[in-house]
Amino acid sequence: MQPLALSLTDQIVQALLGITQGLEAPLHEPSFNGHEWAYVKDCLDSTYVSSVGTYVNRFESELTKVTGARHAIAVVNGTAALHLALLLAGVRPGDEVLVPALSFVATANAVAYCHARPHFLDSEERTLGIDAHALSSWLRSQTEIRAGVCVNRRSGAVIRAMVPMHVFGHPSDLDALMRVAHDHRLVIVEDAAESLGSFIGGKHTGTLGALGTLSFNGNKTITTGGGGAVLTNDDEMARKAKHWSTTARQPHRWAFQHDALGFNYRMPNLNAALGCAQLEQLDGLVQAQRDLHNIYRDAFDAIQGVRLLHEPVGSHSNYWLQALILDRDNASHLDEILEKTNALGIMTRPLWTPLNALPHFTDCPGMPTPMAESLAARVVNIPSSPSLLRRCP
Amino acid sequence: MQPLALSLTDQIVQALLGITQGLEAPLHEPSFNGHEWAYVKDCLDSTYVSSVGTYVNRFESELTKVTGARHAIAVVNGTAALHLALLLAGVRPGDEVLVPALSFVATANAVAYCHARPHFLDSEERTLGIDAHALSSWLRSQTEIRAGVCVNRRSGAVIRAMVPMHVFGHPSDLDALMRVAHDHRLVIVEDAAESLGSFIGGKHTGTLGALGTLSFNGNKTITTGGGGAVLTNDDEMARKAKHWSTTARQPHRWAFQHDALGFNYRMPNLNAALGCAQLEQLDGLVQAQRDLHNIYRDAFDAIQGVRLLHEPVGSHSNYWLQALILDRDNASHLDEILEKTNALGIMTRPLWTPLNALPHFTDCPGMPTPMAESLAARVVNIPSSPSLLRRCP
């Protein structure tokens, strides 16, 4: 019996089996340990389950308290929030929007819904977010300011906005990205879909850019079934977000007059009732995710060839999804790790396919993305539910 | 005391007060008298509240039984259903889509989401739906078939599809409209948002065209909070509708690969749980709405100058919203009726502003719409909740 003879894959599998206690473990399951049923039942009893009701206003109000944003506008999901935020950022048909190649597909799809084109960016290994240094060089070489806006010299299109995404809850390097955005006249829309409860220097992710977006999908730190929100400190953008998300109908007791192209994006009150109960438990859920990280750290620090992703210095991460990064020369283990763990009921998954490799985006502009491709071959998410903590000693 | 001296407005107000028993009456409130609590609680207990779960599949299956459609795809709301259906119908940027000027704004907005243009049509007084006879003349004079598609000679654009809407649950004249669609190579997408439980010659609305759409908003006959569905008998369209509504992600145990521009349109399981309970009560709810119609008929048949809208011959309407139509020379009473009834807590509302009069659609093509404008000045919806029936003798 020589423990040193275990392959890297088997060392990782053994460590995971120790923490999951050999039981099945989903990647991230919801935790309903508060007033979920009380609020949902109250909502049903009121019959106000749809786009009007007290819970949706309350949920928005509680979101502003939790995030420090001046305004939060609750919508049907994070994708709808991104779509609205990009429109509010002034994205027009034919524009380009800077988007990390490493993100969930919604980040780039929302750009396409505006009939604009995603312009893909490379990532950095430290945060898994946009590499600000590489981006700065890229924009200096490829763009120029004309009439106050950033123009892609090659395509001739206006680059209107940048969408940093806080991957797995870990804050991107917003300080550096905001400097780049300032130099190149770009509006920042923070995709904080994964980072509710994550802070940068005391400020909640999604509140540093002009606009931010949240998601409350079933796999997130808190869930509303389906849901999302737009965050902003700008009164006029908030007014428009609410207006456009409710079919742009002008207030009137009975007349149906709409003054712009609107959307049916308002979060239903039923989903907001669930959200209100969930949001009350946010601090505890984030703490559990952070505690789970410490347990994983103890298990993985001793294994050579792989490292557990930690929160970037100066930030406070919600540790929504725990992630292992294989060293470059161990990338070949990735498929085996995914096969063995999932076969055991321990749900793991790789990073997303880099978005610039998807068929509907292959013709889009962008910088070379060697780090995104390297990370996509080496990162694996491991079970991250707060409930997992209860299994651990 | 001379009853004959009562103005038309006051006769209508008196009739409504008799039926509402002098109590407040919303336009249409949900009725939760079945397994709503049980199913929603079960859904919460399962923790599967989001885009995966048993209720959403069951809701779709029950919808196919109720409507007779081969496939039903549950989505976040009726607007999303229309957007998907238009894409499935082949609508492309720059196309035109025939849409009634008299509809809720979502019908035309969904066309705009495809970066196509609504081409507005006039309505008929009998059904409040598209006037098939006027449309036929209009298309003969304005369009021609080129390479198998209908082209608007004036704009040069392809007219790809037609979206009949079954206003207030009353079926439009689909037989005649389908003949027009056939002659002009148009795909029919039926907007059945208001007509769940309404039939044309034994076929459920939304199942006669290539595609149909439903809404389960809070004001509809049944509600899921927010929700909608696409109906189709075409296997391939159904496959695409499901695929596109779930981010076009290719099935895989862990990899994220998307083969087309998709959407985050899947109905959450939480909302579907409510929908399953509601759908079980559909027959009773429709019967209540029909019984309420008979009570209104008794009240309004005696009043000169106004008529209650009845279901078109050959159809079975769900009577979702009861509607009064003032004679042309009594249109001036409309504002007074709206003012007096709403002041009494009896919710009434006029028809929508004709969509071709909205600022974001004024530049769109279309036929003259004198009947739509006339009806918009003469139609008023009156309280229509099934629960109102319990107040009536």
Q: Which of A50, A263, A352 sits opposite B217 (nearest CB)?
A: A50
CA distance A29 to chain B (A): 7
pTM of the predicted model, to two decimals?
0.97
The amino acid at residue B50 is S
User: Is A263's CB within 8 Å of B109's CB?
Assistant: yes
Other Cβ atoms within 10 Å of B383 Cβ, number: 25
User: Is B219's CB within 8 Å of A359's CB?
Assistant: no
What mean pLDDT do residues A212-220 have? Answer: 97
The pLDDT score that the predictor gives to residue A31 is 94
Per DSSP, the residues of A20-32 read HTTS-B-SS----
Residue A393 or residue B78, greater confidence = B78
Residue corresponding to tokens 């509907």: A360
Mutation site, A24, A220, A264, interface B, largest B CB count within 10 A:
A264
Residues of B in contact with A51 (CB under 8 A): 217-218, 226
**pLDDT confidence of A189, banded at 50, 70, 90?**
very high
Tell me which DSSP letter residue A97 carries. E
The pLDDT score that the predictor gives to residue A393 is 64
CA distance B140 to chain A (A): 31
User: Is B226's CB within 8 Å of A51's CB?
Assistant: yes
How far is it, in rounded angstroms, from Cα A288 to Cα A294?
10
User: Is A360's CB within 8 Å of B266's CB?
Assistant: no
pLDDT of residue A138 exceeding 70: yes
User: Is B109's CB within 8 Å of A269's CB?
Assistant: no
Q: In Å, what is the CA distance from B364 to each residue of B73, B80, B296?
A: 31, 22, 38
Residue corresponding to tokens 């979206």: B163
The pLDDT score that the predictor gives to residue A146 is 97
pLDDT of residue B340 exceeding 60: yes
CA distance B268 to chain A (A): 6
Mean pLDDT for chain A? 96
Residue A321's contacts (CB-CB under 8 Å, 6 or more residues apart) are A27, A28, A168, A169, A194, A381, A384
The amino acid at residue B381 is N
Instruction: Name the residue of chain A whose CA is nearest to B38's CA.
Output: A41
User: Is A77's CB within 8 Å of B76's CB?
Assistant: yes
Q: In Å, what is the CA distance from A312 to each residue of A297, A382, B325?
A: 15, 19, 66
User: Is B270's CB within 8 Å of A274's CB?
Assistant: yes
The pLDDT score that the predictor gives to residue B274 is 98
CA distance A140 to chain B (A): 31
User: Is B51's CB within 8 Å of A217's CB?
Assistant: yes
User: Is B52's CB within 8 Å of A218's CB?
Assistant: yes
Extract the runs of DSSP E, i.e. beta strands, from chain A: 71-75, 96-100, 117-121, 143-146, 149-152, 158-162, 187-191, 199-200, 203-204, 211-215, 228-232, 306-308, 315-316, 322-326, 349-350, 379-382
The amino acid at residue A201 is G
How far is it, in rounded angstroms, from Cα B92 to Cα A108?
20
What mean pLDDT do residues B107-123 have? Answer: 98
Residues of A in contact with B36 (CB under 8 A): 44
Q: Is B6 helix (H, G, I), strand (E, B) or coil?
A: coil
Contact B114, B201 (CB under 8 A): no
Give me the percent of chain B exceeding a pLDDT of 90. 96
User: Is B258's CB within 8 Å of A217's CB?
Assistant: no
Q: In Å, what is the CA distance from A232 to each residue of A70, A169, A190, A323, B360?
A: 6, 19, 10, 29, 26
CA distance A297 to chain B (A): 24
CA distance B97 to chain A (A): 16
The pLDDT score that the predictor gives to residue B393 is 64
User: Is A218's CB within 8 Å of B76's CB?
Assistant: no
**pLDDT confidence of A236, banded at 50, 70, 90?**
very high
Residues of A in contact with B271 (CB under 8 A): 225-226, 268, 270-271
User: Is B264's CB within 8 Å of A106's CB?
Assistant: yes
In tens, the pLDDT along B168-179 reads 999 999 999 999
Task: Please report the sign of the dihedral spanned by the C-alpha atoms of residue B200, residue B202, residue B204, residue B207.
Answer: negative
Phi, psi angle pair for A40, to nearest 5°: -65, -40
What mean pLDDT do residues B329-336 have? Answer: 97
User: What residues pair up with A158 in beta bridges, in sequence order?
Assistant: A151
Other Cβ atoms within 10 Å of B56 Cβ, number: 27
- A vs B, Cβ pairs < 8 A, gives 181
Q: Which of B247, B274, B351 sits opposite A270 (nearest CB)?
A: B274
The pLDDT score that the predictor gives to residue A80 is 98
User: What residues pair up with B349 in beta bridges, in sequence order?
Assistant: B381
User: Is B217's CB within 8 Å of A44's CB?
Assistant: no
**pLDDT confidence of A84, banded at 50, 70, 90?**
very high
**pLDDT confidence of B4, banded at 50, 70, 90?**
low
The pLDDT score that the predictor gives to residue B2 is 53
Other Cβ atoms within 10 Å of B236 Cβ, number: 9
In tens, the pLDDT along A303-330 reads 999 999 999 999 999 999 999 999 999 9
pLDDT of residue B1 exceeding 60: no
Phi/psi-derived region of residue A341, left when phi > 0, alpha when psi is between -120 and 50, beta in every other case? alpha
How far is it, in rounded angstroms, from Cα B173 to Cα A198?
56
How far is it, in rounded angstroms, from Cα A205 to Cα A169?
9
pLDDT of residue B5 exceeding 90: no
The amino acid at residue A137 is S
What mean pLDDT do residues B320-337 have? Answer: 97
Residue corresponding to tokens 């429109």: A87
pLDDT of residue A286 exceeding 80: yes
User: What residues pair up with B23 in beta bridges, in sequence order?
Assistant: none
Q: In Å, what is the CA distance from A271 to each residue of A7, A176, A177, A182, B251?
A: 46, 36, 34, 37, 27
Residues of A in contact with B243 (CB under 8 A): none
User: Is B255's CB within 8 Å of A79's CB?
Assistant: no
CA distance A318 to chain B (A): 21
Tell me which DSSP letter residue B89 carries. T
Contact B122, B372 (CB under 8 A): yes
How far is it, in rounded angstroms, from Cα A286 to Cα A271?
21
The amino acid at residue B35 is H
CA distance A125 to chain B (A): 20
What mean pLDDT do residues B14-40 have? Answer: 95
B379-382, strands of its sheet edge to edge: B306-308, B322-326, B379-382, B349-350
HSE of A79 in the Cβ direction (CA atoms, 13 Å)? 22
- Domains contained in chain A, CATH given: 3-30+282-391 (3.90.1150.10), 36-279 (3.40.640.10)
Other Cβ atoms within 10 Å of A148 Cβ, number: 6
Residues of A in contact with B267 (CB under 8 A): 226
The pLDDT score that the predictor gives to residue A5 is 79
State the ipTM, two decimals.
0.96
Residue corresponding to tokens 């992630």: A323
Residues of B in contact with A104 (CB under 8 A): 256
Instruction: Name the residue of chain B whose CA is nearest to A109's CA.
Output: B261
Helix (H) or strand (E) holding B315: strand B315-316
Residues of A in contact with B219 (CB under 8 A): 50
How far is it, in rounded angstroms, from Cα A275 to Cα A265?
16
Mean pLDDT for chain B? 96
Per DSSP, the residues of A312-341 read PTTEE----SEEEEE-GGGGGGHHHHHHHH
Mutation site, A42, A50, A385, interface B, largest B CB count within 10 A:
A50
Residues of A in contact with B379 (CB under 8 A): none
The pLDDT score that the predictor gives to residue A3 is 53
Mutation site, A246, A258, A285, interface B, largest B CB count within 10 A:
A258
Per DSSP, the residues of B258-283 read B-S---B-BPPHHHHHHHHHHHTTHH
In tens, the pLDDT along B253-274 reads 888 899 999 999 999 999 999 9
Tell me which DSSP letter residue B369 carries. -
Mutation site, B75, B83, B264, interface A, largest A CB count within 10 A:
B264
pLDDT of residue B3 exceeding 90: no
In tens, the pLDDT along B184-222 reads 999 999 999 999 999 999 999 999 999 999 999 999 999
The pLDDT score that the predictor gives to residue B180 is 98
Q: Which of A47, A261, A268 sits opposite B29 (nearest CB)?
A: A47
Mutation site, B92, B254, B338, B382, interface A, largest A CB count within 10 A:
B254
CA distance B134 to chain A (A): 26
Give me the percent of chain A exceeding a pLDDT of 90. 96
CA distance A385 to chain B (A): 12
